């Protein structure tokens, strides 16, 4: 494929009656190809040999960046060869192989690809496959060694508790790069959740965690919820459709932790029963001292907590932009002699609308700010 104008090819839902035709094209995707985005999802027919040909071609490709290969039928031995061939690739950024019957044995080949020094992959979708604890351990054992991965989707597999130990071992590593992790729709129960809680205080990278629709209850979620208070990275936590969690048990612990958490912005509680007494007695008091949580997804009486969530949105959009952690003052701005030279944090609300006064005071209360300018406001 020497045509420099064509960069995207889509073969989705094609009927492959003569595999040799597809293989002839795939052979051309080597180092002279300008194709950057290839989609081959839902092809009708055995894709085993075409995948081997594709893998071999990609081992020499220098431009391919995105592979979408969902819902295909591939023999196990051919799948292993495909991942082994990819070891030589230095350009691919995203691979999606959802619902392609990836097994634990296949993960033994995926793992070395992820940890090899040439790997540039940042986004991997392994959802809706056949991965169990054994496969997770294989993947994490290699990610611990080395990885460029930022986004990992392991949803709708068969992961239970034993593999979580190795996952936590990876997540607490200082060199962990992962930003988003989905474990939605697996079989993680109470023991797994207690183990998973071990990463929350130490991890410095993970922003999004999806734990929806697993098999844990209040007993398992309780220690995890308690550790949320110590986490400084997560901005989105999804525990939706875990129906064994209730608002008289571990959800109370969760919102108590939210009161001290300074990073979570979105909490997904869809499919969990949330009643008015819980909102009034626990959630509302917790939000008094929280300035980051902005969105709570789920069926609940919105008017109880929505006002406080809206205040946090105002803080993020209208107050924070006026905050300078390290300000440089000029003579005449303030009495320089009374300013703390070691802390020059400054909130400048001068001339702002008076509706921002209360949100600004809340922001100041929970930040170490030494200088505030409220001049020219209509108080």
36-86 per-position pLDDT tens digit: 999 999 998 888 898 999 999 999 998 999 999 999 988 889 999 999 999
pLDDT in tens, 331-365: 555 555 455 555 578 899 999 999 999 999 999 98
pLDDT in tens, 128-163: 999 999 999 999 999 998 778 999 999 999 999 999
Q: Does residue 231 contact residue 201 with C-beta atoms inside 8 Å?
A: yes
User: What local confidence, expressed as pLDDT, does residue 217 receive?
Assistant: 96
Residue 327 has pLDDT above 80, yes or no: no
Q: In 3D, which of 84, 308, 102, 98 has the Cα closest to residue 182?
A: 98
As a dihedral over the C-alpha atoms of residue 22, residue 23, residue 25, residue 26, rounded to 10 degrees, the angle is 120
User: What local confidence, expressed as pLDDT, does residue 183 receive?
Assistant: 98
Residue 15 has pLDDT above 60, yes or no: yes
Residue extents of the structural domains in the chain: 1-101, 321-373
User: What local confidence, expressed as pLDDT, does residue 329 receive?
Assistant: 62
Antiparallel, parallel or unpaired: β 295-297 and 266-268? parallel
User: What local confidence, expressed as pLDDT, does residue 45 receive?
Assistant: 84
For tokens 């392609």, what's the residue? 100
Compare 31 and 101 and report the one with higher pLDDT.
101
Antiparallel, parallel or unpaired: β 180-182 and 208-210? parallel
Residue 283 DSSP SS3? helix
Residue 1 has pLDDT above 70, yes or no: no
Give the list of residues 6+ apart from residue 136 with CB closer than 8 angstroms, or none. Answer: 107, 154, 159, 163, 164, 166, 167
Residues 260-273, mean pLDDT to the nearest whole number: 95
pLDDT in tens, 75-112: 889 999 999 999 989 999 999 999 999 999 999 999 99
Sequence-ordered alpha helix ranges (H) in the chain: 19-26, 48-58, 76-85, 104-115, 133-145, 162-171, 190-196, 218-227, 250-258, 276-278, 284-288, 302-314, 357-365
Residue 25 has pLDDT above 90, yes or no: no
Q: Whole-number mean pLDDT of the chain?
A: 91
Taking the C-alpha atoms of residue 292 and residue 146, their distance in angstroms, rounded to an integer, is 33
Which of 184-193, 219-228, 366-375 has the weakest average pLDDT? 366-375
Which of 23-32, 124-133, 187-196 has the weakest average pLDDT? 23-32
User: What local confidence, expressed as pLDDT, does residue 377 receive?
Assistant: 85
User: Per residue in 82-112, is it b (16+ CB within 10 Å) or e — as a string?
Assistant: bbbbbeebeebebbbbbbbbbebebbbbbbb
State if pTM tops 0.95.
no
The CATH number of the structural domain formed by 1-101 is 3.80.10.10
User: What local confidence, expressed as pLDDT, does residue 280 receive?
Assistant: 94
Taking the C-alpha atoms of residue 124 and residue 39, their distance in angstroms, rounded to an integer, is 15
Residues 23-31, mean pLDDT to the nearest whole number: 86
Residues 20-43, mean pLDDT to the nearest whole number: 89
pLDDT in tens, 271-286: 999 999 999 999 999 9
Query: How many other CB atoms sit within 10 Å of the CB of residue 342?
Result: 6
User: What local confidence, expressed as pLDDT, does residue 21 receive?
Assistant: 87
User: What local confidence, expressed as pLDDT, does residue 179 receive?
Assistant: 97
- Residue length of the chain: 379
User: What local confidence, expressed as pLDDT, does residue 188 receive?
Assistant: 97
């Amino acid at each position: 494929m020497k045509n420099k104008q064509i960069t995207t090819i889509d073969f989705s839902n094609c009927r492959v009656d003569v595999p040799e035709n597809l293989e002839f094209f795939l052979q051309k995707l080597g180092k002279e190809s300008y194709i950057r985005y290839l989609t081959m999802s839902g092809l009708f027919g055995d894709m085993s040999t075409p995948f081997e040909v594709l893998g071999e071609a990609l081992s020499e490709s220098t431009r391919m960046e995105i592979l979408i290969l969902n819902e295909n039928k591939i023999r196990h031995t051919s799948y292993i060869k495909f991942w082994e061939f990819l070891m030589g690739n230095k350009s691919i950024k995203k691979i999606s192989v959802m619902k392609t019957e990836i097994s634990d044995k296949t993960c033994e080949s995926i793992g070395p690809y992820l940890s090899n020094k040439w790997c540039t992959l940042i986004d991997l979708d392994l959802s809706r496959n056949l991965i169990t604890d054994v496969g997770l351990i294989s993947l994490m054992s290699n990610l611990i060694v080395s990885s460029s991965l930022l986004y990992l989707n392991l949803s709708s597999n068969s992961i239970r508790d034993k593999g979580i130990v190795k996952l936590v071992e990876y997540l607490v590593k200082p060199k962990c790069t992962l930003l988003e992790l989905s474990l939605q729709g697996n079989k993680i129960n109470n023991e797994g959740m207690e183990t998973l809680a071990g990463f929350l205080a130490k991890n410095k990278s993970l922003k999004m965690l999806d734990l929806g629709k697993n098999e844990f209850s209040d007993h398992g979620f309780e220690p995890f919820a308690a550790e949320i208070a110590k986490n400084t990275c997560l901005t989105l936590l999804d525990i939706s459709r875990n129906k064994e969690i209730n608002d008289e048990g571990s959800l109370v612990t969760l919102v108590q932790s939210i009161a001290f958490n300074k990073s979570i912005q979105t909490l997904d509680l869809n499919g969990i029963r949330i009643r008015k007494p819980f909102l009034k007695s626990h959630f509302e008091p917790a939000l008094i001292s929280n300035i980051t949580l902005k969105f709570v997804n789920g069926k609940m009486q919105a008017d109880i907590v929505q006002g406080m969530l809206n205040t946090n949105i105002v803080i993020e959009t209208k107050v924070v932009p006026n905050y300078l952690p390290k300000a440089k003052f000029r003579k005449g701005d303030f009495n320089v002699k009374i300013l703390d030279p070691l802390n020059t944090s400054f909130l400048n609300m001068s001339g702002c609308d008076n509706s921002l006064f209360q949100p600004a005071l809340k922001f100041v209360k929970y930040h170490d700010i030494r200088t505030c300018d409220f001049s020219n406001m209509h108080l």
